[in-house]
Amino acid sequence: AIRSTDNDAMGSRLSAIMQRYIPGDPFTPMLASNEASTSATISRRSPIINIGTYLRSRAIDRLVHNFLVQSNSPKQILSLGAGSDSRFWRLESDPAITTLSHYVELDFPHLTTAKVGRIRRRQELAAGIGKDLWISEDQSCFQTERYSLIACDLRTLPEDQNATSILKKHLDSSKETLIIAECVLAYLSPGESNALLSFLGKLLSQPSALCYEMCVAGDDAIIRDAPPSRFGSVMLSNLQSRSLDMPGARAFSTLSSHKDRFQIGLGQSDLHGNGKGVVRTLKNVWQGIEEEEKQRLSRLEGLDEVEELEILLAHYAISW
């Protein structure tokens, strides 16, 4: 069931692009599976979901951009559970980005194999990644001058000698590295996510982290280990009905636990290297948007349920 969530995420992005919430790019449709494309066409997402996708994309895009332009030193990005994400190609096509030296993605073998196939079939995708330096026999992993795709199960990566050996060859441990985890750690148990982050913290000398996850206790929970809110419980129940268990979402239910998770796991600093993590809900992002832009978003499909929107947005958080 976890493996099917990539189609959901891609379908949401395609829906937001089609309804003009976020700018289109030529790479996203090329990387979409047939299932994701069909889902987005047949089942257009609701205005609330489309706005949530817009806010997530806007906030994460800006944070990644800030990381890459904060200094002139070469940098790496390590994307956990990247799926069909097109971020590497979008960054490569941005003339303002000159410091990205290597981009590494990790995901399940069936997803990486499919992505390798799509990249090699489309000249537009293959052109941006440089020449093939290495490809595994089963075609689930490959490395080029600027981009690497590695098959693994994040839940067991620290014990997977083959995958960790490949990862160590593809990453320069001395470079500033941004670890991106979007809707990934919620599927891992606390023990699995702690082991993963500890492994990465020891592997990289200058790691920073950017995480986007559900926050099932909501934004008004005061107790660190607060239980899910009524809305958060409904979210978890709906996911459970799809055979999606979320041990990480239950264990890290509050904003404070989101903020502290990477500092504890990696044993060091935040995106800005100052040892102080930051966390914001999508509701905070929504509240910070210019009024003119809010009106544009509201007019696209006629947003009526602002209160329902803000309840949903209060249950998703970005930490860095």
Determine contact, residues 269/263, Cβ cutoff 8 Å.
Answer: yes
Is 153 annotated in a binding site? The answer is yes
Is 288 annotated in a binding site? The answer is no
Q: State the DSSP string of 29-73.
A: HHH--HHHHHHHHHSPPPHHHHHHHHHHHHHHHHHHHHHHHSSSS
Is 125 annotated in a binding site? The answer is no
Torsion angle of the four alpha carbons 28, 29, 35, 40, in this order, in degrees rounded to the nearest 10: 90
Tell me the C-alpha distance between 188 and 186, whole Å. Answer: 6
Q: State the DSSP string of 193-253.
A: HHHHHHHHHHH-SEEEEEEEEE-TT-TT--STTPPP-HHHHHHHHHHHTTT---HHHHHS-
Is 120 annotated in a binding site? The answer is no
Determine contact, residues 76/103, Cβ cutoff 8 Å.
Answer: yes
Tell me the C-alpha distance between 13 and 76, whole Å. Answer: 24
Place of tokens 């979210």: 235
Is 309 annotated in a binding site? The answer is no
Name the token pair of 243.
């055979």
Closest CA to 129 of 30, 24, 20, 5: 30
Closest CA to 280 of 213, 183, 227, 231: 213
Binding residues for S-adenosyl-L-methionine: 56, 81, 153-154, 182
Residues in the annotated binding site? 56, 81, 153-154, 182
